[in-house]
């Protein structure tokens, strides 16, 4: 039988280990390439490709000012989450801008004279040539000017010939320093200027924040029509404020009042009489104070802080309390005297009051003085007033110490050395010092309180010393969080509570929370604020924090601080661990498992062949 070498050669090729292994490797590589292509196509399907012309877009908006007027040439820049600049546009004459972006971006709006504004947007749909089909329509976006003016009073009724002083505030809303120049427009004959506590101001360098000034307006004597005064502050932007001043002829609207119309005092003593001046009319008044006293007597008008006053500026409804200090002439005899007090407005119309003074023979041989009578103290704290007593007579004197008038629940005690006393025996020609210790209660409200101390001799002479105590508020605010660590899933919200306590001795007003968040996280606080919080009282806020879906897994800090009109608390940090959702992890794991299984079975199939 002949040998079929051709068949043997073919069989040899099929059975050759070298050719079989080569063919298997080729088939394995093809299966691997197919698997990778499937995975790549799936990944591409998650990020749709967008191809658009230069005129297409998918987001637009209108930039306007606080009055709703469009702002031209505002630069709008879009930054991605890594801070990269993706697009830049400028608004047209209608304030419109339109751009083509995809994903989550921070839009920054900038223009000189306006406060830079940021908005976060998320754009998902593909661009289109029809703006009405844009994915995001932002509507009107209001930008605030860098400068603003405000005043609590912009209309005033006053008397011709008076100088008005109206307070106003200029605010720099931007982050950069502004050179603010003031200009005023007023009717002919009206004199105006801007002043501060030192003098006239024409311009000022203003950092971010507010500063108060005074607008002085001199109303002409002949003015009858309403004057319109326009105040303008010019920097990188311009702000204006209009005041309307209506002159009205004055009437007899000044009143004088005294609690004591007739008193008695020893010869040689200085007399103090309380006096109240009121404006019961409808226009501002400038009032001059005058006194007609007996020959050789002097009269001075003083405030409770001993500031000498000669004239007053009173708005409608204002009342000012003071004292008239009378010093009788040297050698004035005992008897009855009269002092006429007058308050004269700028039109020459007086209000008058007649006070009676009866001088009696001196009987006291004690001289009493306190080195200070006006103090400021914190609620619950004590203050000590030193009182010096001299016996200028020729016999020993027994002095009785009392406090005939003091606020309710205030503790008062006289101390000599370390001993509480109610009387003193002072030898002739000697002097001694006693201390009056005053302690307001912890719950006392802030304000000025008056108490009287009496030093009376055994022969009936008495000296009354008035003391003014200004109680300042004791403020302390504490903050406590329900937790200092939370875990949340990205895209979901977490909540916690914050307890704010007034640990001070005075009420606080407008208590609220400030929460500092990472990136574009958002927080909702309930309630938004509490109008007041009594001493030792607490309130609880609920804070709900939302994490954006594009948050990177990791640890973040949420800072919380409590504020009130009077003070702020310390800041507390809450650590938040953001974790990715397990759903996409399962999907990815499944895809990998399917790919591995496919490769495995392909390998086994080709290996058997």
Report the pLDDT value the prediction gives residue 266, as an integer from 0 to 100.
80
Report the pLDDT value the prediction gives residue 586, as an integer from 0 to 100.
54
Which class in CATH covers the domain with range 254-360?
A: mainly beta
* Tens digits of residue pLDDT in 358-401: 988 766 578 888 877 888 887 667 888 999 998 887 678 888 99
- In this structure, what is the dihedral angle of CA atoms 229, 235, 236, 237, given to the nearest 10 degrees? -10
Closest CA to 149 of 198, 206, 72, 218: 206
Structure-model confidence comparison of residues 47 and 181, the more confident one: 181
Question: How far is the C-alpha of 8 from the C-alpha of 542, rounded, in Å?
Answer: 88
Query: pLDDT band at residue 46, thresholds of 50, 70 and 90?
Result: very low
* Tens digits of residue pLDDT in 19-39: 555 565 666 666 666 565 655
CA distances, 60 to each of 96, 138, 241 (Å) = 7, 6, 34
Q: Is residue 72 predicted with pLDDT exceeding 60?
A: yes
The yes-or-no answer to whether 147-247 and 366-472 have a common fold is: yes
Q: Scanning the structure block, which residue is given the tokens 């083509």?
A: 100
- What residues are paired with 178 via a beta bridge? 206
Closest CA to 523 of 574, 466, 468, 475: 574
Question: How far is the C-alpha of 505 from the C-alpha of 366, rounded, in Å?
Answer: 41
Report the pLDDT value the prediction gives residue 47, as an integer from 0 to 100.
39
Question: How far is the C-alpha of 312 from the C-alpha of 324, rounded, in Å?
Answer: 14
Report the pLDDT value the prediction gives residue 12, as an integer from 0 to 100.
43
Look at 12-16, 335-339, 486-490 and tell me which has the smallest mean pLDDT. 12-16
Query: pLDDT band at residue 5, thresholds of 50, 70 and 90?
Result: very low
Beta strand pairing call for 508-516 and 530-533: antiparallel
Tell me whether the omega of the peptide bond preceding residue 287 falls within 30 degrees of 0, making it cis. no
Q: Is residue 52 predicted with pLDDT exceeding 50?
A: no
Question: How far is the C-alpha of 479 from the C-alpha of 501, rounded, in Å?
Answer: 7
Q: Give the H/E segment covering residue 36.
A: helix 17-45
Which class in CATH covers the domain with range 147-247?
A: mainly beta
Report the pLDDT value the prediction gives residue 335, as an integer from 0 to 100.
87
> Phi/psi of residue 34, each to 5°?
-60, -45
* Tens digits of residue pLDDT in 304-361: 888 999 999 998 899 999 999 999 998 888 888 889 898 888 777 778 888 889 988 7
Q: Scanning the structure block, which residue is given the tokens 């890594």?
A: 82
Look at 108-117, 383-392, 600-609 and tell me which has the smallest mean pLDDT. 600-609
Question: How far is the C-alpha of 609 from the C-alpha of 606, rounded, in Å?
Answer: 5
What homologous superfamily does CATH list for 60-142? Carboxypeptidase-like, regulatory domain (2.60.40.1120)
Report the pLDDT value the prediction gives residue 24, as an integer from 0 to 100.
55
- Contact of 506 with 473, CB cutoff 8 Å: yes
Structure-model confidence comparison of residues 58 and 471, the more confident one: 58
Structure-model confidence comparison of residues 562 and 606, the more confident one: 562
What homologous superfamily does CATH list for 366-472? Immunoglobulins (2.60.40.10)
Query: pLDDT band at residue 224, thresholds of 50, 70 and 90?
Result: confident
Q: Give the H/E segment covering residue 603.
A: helix 582-608
Cβ burial of 290 (10 Å; 0-12, 13-18, 19+) is: middle
Structure-token pair, residue 205: 């360098």
Mean pLDDT of 551-559: 91
Closest CA to 76 of 118, 46, 126: 118
Mean pLDDT of 548-573: 91
Look at 179-193, 451-465, 548-562 and tell me which has the smallest mean pLDDT. 451-465
**CB-side neighbour CA atoms (13 Å) of 30:** 8
Question: How far is the C-alpha of 444 from the C-alpha of 456, rounded, in Å?
Answer: 30
- Contact of 436 with 466, CB cutoff 8 Å: no
CATH of 477-583, one of 2.60.40.10, 3.40.190.10, 2.60.40.4070, 3.40.50.150: 2.60.40.10
User: What SS3 state is found at 442?
Assistant: coil
Query: pLDDT band at residue 4, thresholds of 50, 70 and 90?
Result: low
> Phi/psi of residue 593, each to 5°?
-65, -45
Question: How far is the C-alpha of 120 from the C-alpha of 24, rounded, in Å?
Answer: 55
The angle that helices 17-45 and 582-608 make with each other, rounded to 10 degrees, is 160
Report the pLDDT value the prediction gives residue 10, as an integer from 0 to 100.
46
- Contact of 127 with 100, CB cutoff 8 Å: yes
Q: What is the mean pLDDT of the chain?
A: 85
Q: Scanning the structure block, which residue is given the tokens 């496919």?
A: 598
Mean pLDDT of 58-80: 95
Q: Residue 128 has what DSSP assignment?
A: B
Cβ burial of 314 (10 Å; 0-12, 13-18, 19+) is: buried
Q: Residue 566 has what DSSP assignment?
A: S
Neighbours of 247 (CB within 10 A): 22
Query: pLDDT band at residue 608, thresholds of 50, 70 and 90?
Result: low
Mean pLDDT of 579-588: 63
Q: Per-domain residue ranges for the chain?
A: 60-142, 147-247, 254-360, 366-472, 477-583
């Amino acid at each position: 039988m002949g040998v079929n070498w051709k068949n043997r050669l073919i069989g040899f090729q099929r059975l050759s280990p070298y050719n079989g292994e080569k063919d298997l490797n080729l088939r394995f590589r093809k299966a691997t390439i197919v698997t990778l292509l499937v995975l790549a196509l799936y990944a591409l399907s998650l990020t749709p490709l967008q191809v658009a012309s230069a005129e297409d877009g998918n987001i637009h908006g209108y930039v306007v000012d606080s009055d709703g007027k469009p702002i031209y040439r505002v630069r709008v820049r879009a930054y991605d989450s890594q801070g990269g600049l993706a697009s830049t546009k400028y608004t047209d004459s209608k304030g419109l801008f339109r751009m083509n972006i995809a994903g989550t971006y921070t839009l920054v709006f900038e223009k000189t004279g306006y406060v830079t504004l940021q908005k976060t947007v998320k754009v998902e749909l593909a661009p289109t040539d029809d703006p009405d089909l844009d994915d995001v329509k932002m509507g009107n976006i209001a930008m605030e000017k860098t400068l603003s003016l405000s005043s609590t009073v912009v209309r005033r009724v006053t008397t011709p010939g008076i100088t008005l002083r109206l307070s106003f505030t200029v605010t720099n809303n931007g982050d950069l320093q502004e050179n603010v120049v003031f200009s005023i427009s007023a009717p002919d004959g009206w004199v105006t200027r801007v002043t501060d506590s030192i003098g006239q101001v024409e311009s000022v360098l203003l950092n971010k924040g507010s500063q108060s000034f005074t607008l002085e307006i001199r109303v002409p004597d002949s003015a009858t029509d309403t004057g319109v005064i326009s105040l303008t502050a010019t920097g990188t932007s311009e702000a204006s404020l209009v005041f309307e001043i209506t002159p009205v002829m004055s009437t007899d609207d000044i009143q004088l009042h005294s609690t004591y119309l007739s008193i008695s005092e020893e010869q040689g003593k200085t007399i103090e009489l309380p006096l109240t001046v009121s404006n019961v009319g409808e226009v501002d008044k400038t009032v001059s104070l005058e006194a007609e006293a007996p020959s050789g007597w002097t009269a001075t008008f003083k405030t409770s802080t001993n500031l000498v006053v000669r004239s007053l500026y009173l708005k409608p409804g204002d009342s000012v309390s003071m004292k008239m200090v009378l010093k009788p002439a040297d050698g004035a005899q005992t008897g009855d005297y009269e002092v006429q007090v007058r308050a004269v407005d700028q039109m020459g119309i007086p209000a008058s009051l007649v006070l009676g003074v009866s001088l009696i023979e001196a009987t006291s041989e004690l001289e009493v003085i306190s080195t200070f009578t006006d103090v400021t103290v914190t609620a619950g704290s004590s203050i000590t007033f030193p009182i010096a007593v001299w016996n200028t007579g020729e016999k020993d004197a027994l002095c009785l110490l009392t406090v005939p008038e003091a606020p309710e629940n205030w503790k008062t005690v006289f101390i000599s050395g370390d001993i509480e006393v109610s009387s003193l025996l002072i030898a002739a020609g000697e002097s001694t010092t006693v201390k009056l210790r005053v302690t307001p209660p912890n719950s006392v409200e802030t304000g000025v309180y008056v108490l009287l101390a009496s030093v009376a001799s055994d022969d009936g002479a008495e000296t009354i010393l008035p003391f003014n105590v200004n109680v300042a508020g004791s403020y302390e605010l504490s903050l406590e969080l329900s937790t200092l660590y939370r875990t949340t899933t990205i895209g979901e919200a977490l909540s916690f509570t914050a307890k704010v306590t007034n640990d001070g001795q005075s009420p606080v007003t407008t208590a609220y929370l400030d929460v500092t968040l990472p990136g574009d996280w958002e927080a909702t606080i309930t309630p938004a604020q509490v109008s007041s919080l009594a001493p030792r009282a607490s309130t609880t806020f609920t804070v709900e924090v939302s994490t954006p879906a594009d948050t990177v897994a990791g640890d973040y800090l949420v800072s919380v601080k409590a504020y009130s009109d009077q003070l702020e608390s310390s800041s507390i940090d809450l650590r938040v661990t953001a974790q990715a959702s397990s759903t996409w992890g399962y999907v990815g794991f499944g895809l990998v498992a399917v790919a591995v299984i496919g490769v495995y079975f392909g390998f086994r199939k080709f290996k058997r062949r």
